[in-house]
Structure formats: structure tokens, C-alpha cells
């Protein structure tokens, strides 16, 4: 019964948010309410929204930096293993 009540409260909160100015703005950007159901914390929600709004070229650059960072860490581990 508690779970049902929590689901009803969450559905009401979601409907209230979708009716607000911010909810309508995010809907115009193509961010559906399913994202808000997935996100459990505010920081998680902000990261989803930021990733959806960021341009494709910026995502490519960020992905490249992440890949370079991973490669550097792997190379350092291999180098340390060779020296040991």
C-alpha cells in the first residue's frame, strides 16, 4: 500500500512539474518525463539535462578527452608493471 501511495505522489509531482514553465521548456527541448523518473538525485538529473542540451561537437570533444585520459592511465599501469 505504501508503494502505491509513493507511486501516486510521484505521478502527481511529475504532472505538476510538466505543467510548470520549466517542464514545458524541457519538453520543447525534447527531454521527456521518462528522464525524470530515471533520475534519483538532483545531480543525476542535472547531468542528464546537460548531456541532452550539449551540442554534438562538444560531446565529441568531451569523449575524446575521456578516451585520452583512459589511455594515459592504461599506459601508466603498463609502464609501472614493466618497471617492477
Amino acid 40: pLDDT: 62
Is residue 18 pLDDT above 90, yes or no?
no
Please, what's the b/e burial string for 13-36 (b: 16 or more CB within 10 A of its CB; e: otherwise)? eeeeeeeeeebeebeeeebeeeeb
**Closest Cα partner for 45 from 9, 14, 82?**
14
- 29-75 pLDDT, tens per residue? 777 666 666 666 677 777 777 777 777 777 788 889 999 999 999 99
Amino acid 36: pLDDT: 64
pTM (2 d.p.):
0.39
Instruction: Classify burial at 40, counting beta carbons within 10 Å of its beta carbon; exposed 0-12, middle 13-18, buried 19 or more.
Output: exposed
Place of cell 601508466: 76
User: Any idea where the domains of the chain sit in the sequence?
Assistant: 1-53, 55-84
Amino acid at each position: 500500500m505504501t508503494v502505491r501511495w509513493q507511486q501516486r505522489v510521484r505521478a502527481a509531482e511529475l504532472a505538476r512539474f510538466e505543467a510548470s514553465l520549466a517542464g514545458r521548456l524541457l519538453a520543447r527541448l525534447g527531454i521527456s518525463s521518462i528522464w525524470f523518473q530515471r533520475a534519483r538525485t538532483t545531480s543525476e538529473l542535472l547531468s542528464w539535462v546537460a548531456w541532452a542540451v550539449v551540442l554534438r561537437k562538444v560531446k565529441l570533444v568531451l569523449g575524446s578527452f575521456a578516451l585520452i585520459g583512459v589511455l594515459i592511465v592504461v599506459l601508466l599501469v603498463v609502464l609501472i608493471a614493466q618497471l617492477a
